[in-house]
Structure 1
């Protein structure tokens, strides 16, 4: 009772909006404290389990599990990330071979390890699942450019196999020709196609950066969505289209007009005033937002 009186006396002169902000901050602080407490309890349980298992090992218990050192920093920063990625990939290639993402992931790993035959294998498997996939298109372009730079240095037998197996997919086209054909035939069909096609065009032909940027930031695609726009914005900020600070601001403004309730496009000043759940209970989605996400 006394605390309630003191609280009322202290904050009775606050405006309703300021009082609401204060209560939101207090709820956030309370929730954060509860989460930290729960996390500490989980860590303590894990520590006790680990300690018990280690004691069993030291005492010669043959049924005790073999333990690795659970050092968070070591787990988060693997000394051989690509090798660790391959370990993660192997069960996926067995259990999720019918998902194109498995083979696209495999290509990304082997591309970074300069393994041309494994790159080819990954592309072929992905091509059999969905030959028009936007990410696969990008993989094909990068593999073709890799071959342009490295094919002459490969073992002749390996080069012959690659040339034979890649031909049905590239059909004698160069990377630039494939990129331009994709933009003409597929880029307008989906927002993802446009983004991946534009990135490839910018990478292959830097002098056409303006065209690529215009293609990526257009908002007329039939499957336009908040997540699709966020992906474009992330790509712009990561420098895939070169320095474009002005275009980034313009794109955010355009997305904000298209999706006025989307948190991703709100200015920082507006985010500070949002309640914990980020969406007011009485703020319905606009019809355009509903249609774009269905």
Structure 2
């Protein structure tokens, strides 16, 4: 999304324009919600104590576009309105961590719920949750990852992303042992042959 580029460059007006276009095209897109939260957070952190035409335009447009300009409230409302959608729950959880890292445990419980009544509880969407857990953005513990993978494996037993670690194969060990035995046998035979050999007397 163009918003990501403008966010990295610190261009708030271009960020706002990208968000306005996205809202016209896909207003219910779950990933768009996270972009809106990040923009509101940027606005709070970078523009609160500034004044000028650009800030006035941004404040006016944000008030017009969104039901609230408070990011935490916007995120809670978004979650409450999309409780049954796994992709939306994931983005609400992401936003929660971005806004307040203290909310990590609650965010994890929101994103990793796997109730059968959820919309879009697909292999792809559950894998996206796993990828978020593994990312630096969240950084789940090995225990948290193992627990979620086990839950997903019960639902999608053929999905490789959720398969438990396989025990080490014994075939390579057997081959190695066989090779070692063969080498030892050859060496022993050669040694015996040399021992039994008698040089002919010189004439």
TM-score by length of 1: 0.53
> Which among 201, 209, 213 is matched to residue 104 of structure 2?
209
Q: Where do residues 1-294 of structure 1 align in structure 2 (5 Å cutoff)?
A: 105-152=1-48, 154=50, 156-186=52-82, 188-220=83-115, 221-269=118-166
Structure 1 residues 264 and 243 mapped into 2: Cα distance closer, same or farther (>3 Å)? closer
Q: Partners in 2 of 1:271 and 1:185 — Cα distance?
A: 47
Structure 2 stretches lacking a partner, 5+ long: 170-203
Match of 1:86 in 2: none
What RMSD, in angstroms, separates the aligned Cα atoms of the two structures? 1.9
User: 2:37, 2:75 within 8 Å by CA — same for their partners in 1?
Assistant: yes
TM-score by length of 2: 0.76
Length, aligned pairs only: 167
How far the C-alpha of 1:246 sits from its partner, in A, is 1.1
How far the C-alpha of 1:155 sits from its partner, in A, is 5.4
Moved more, 170-179 or 148-157: 148-157
Of structures 1 and 2, the one with the larger relative CO (CA 8 A, separation 6+) is 2
CA deviations 1:223-275 (Å, max 9, x no partner) are 11111111111110113334422111000001111111111111342798xxx
Structure 1 stretches lacking a partner, 5+ long: 1-104, 273-294
CA deviations 1:3-50 (Å, max 9, x no partner) are xxxxxxxxxxxxxxxxxxxxxxxxxxxxxxxxxxxxxxxxxxxxxxxx
